Chains A and B, each alone.
Chain A
Amino acid sequence: ETGVTQTPRHLVMGMTNKKSLKCEQHLGHNAMYWYKQSAKKPLELMFVYNFKEQTENNSVPSRFSPECPNSSHLFLHLHTLQPEDSALYLCASSQEWESSYEQYFGPGTRLTVT
């Protein structure tokens, strides 16, 4: 595998379910990001991890819980979501945080909350 991978690619869950999204990067990068992409809206940065430490949490509701066990893996744990949380969730990585290096994105998880 190369680049940034995400699983699952599609997820349908009820509001009472608990699920997790997984991201893995094979680029040797030190920074990883979670974004939310809703139709016709700008990408919203959710969380940033740098060397496994969370550095940014952009006022994300607690029903989204990130986890970064090492520099290559990033998870987003989901519980008691709302229908408005339906969106494409993108993971990205970059060489360093707080730098102008470009970000490399995974293909995303299309989440539908019913």
Chain B
Amino acid sequence: GQNIDQPTEMTATEGAIVQINCTYQTSGFNGLFWYQQHAGEAPTFLSYNVLDGLEEKGRFSSFLSRSKGYSYLLLKELQMKDSASYLCASMDSNYQLIWGAGTKLIIKP
């Protein structure tokens, strides 16, 4: 079956670095997405990886290893506004997104 695993909740300190891991098993693979969702708001696109390696975009970076079925989202210089849920989603061979349940990130001062 198709499955996405990510931690339910993580806590980090303002100014620090946090890494949110995601493992996936899908029928075929057309890329890995990360979305951010603040409470009561729409998910917003953060990153897309289809090739192995690290993609950096400001304070956020996303890594993909296709052979390991593994991705992570790296958030640097954490700010209070980064408190949100982070959703990992793998796109299968039919271009359907298979979603994880999300990781709730709590930032403490």
Contacts and interface: CB of A to CB of B under 8 A. Distances in A.
Q: Do A and B bind each other?
A: yes
Interface of A: 4, 40-43, 45, 56, 90, 97-100, 102-108
Nearest to A91: B42
Task: Give the interface SS of chain A, mostly helix, strand, loop or mixed.
Answer: loop
Given A40-B8, A42-B100, A100-B91, A105 B43 contact: yes
A64 to B, nearest CB: 18
A105 B42 contact: yes
Given A98-B94, A100-B91, A42 B99 contact: yes
B101 A108 contact: no
Given A40-B8, A100-B48, A100-B91, A107 B97 contact: no
B87 interface: yes
Contacts of A107: 40-42
B101 A104 contact: no
Interface residues of B, number: 26
B12 to A, nearest CB: 20
B101 A45 contact: no
22 contacts: A40-B8, A40-B101, A40-B102, A42-B99, A42-B100, A42-B101, A43-B87, A43-B89, A43-B97, A45-B97, A90-B43, A97-B95, A99-B95, A100-B48, A100-B95, A102-B45, A103-B45, A103-B97, A105-B42, A107-B40, A107-B41, A107-B42
B48 A102 contact: yes
B54 interface: no
A90 B42 contact: yes
A107 B41 CA distance: 5
A72 to B, nearest CB: 17
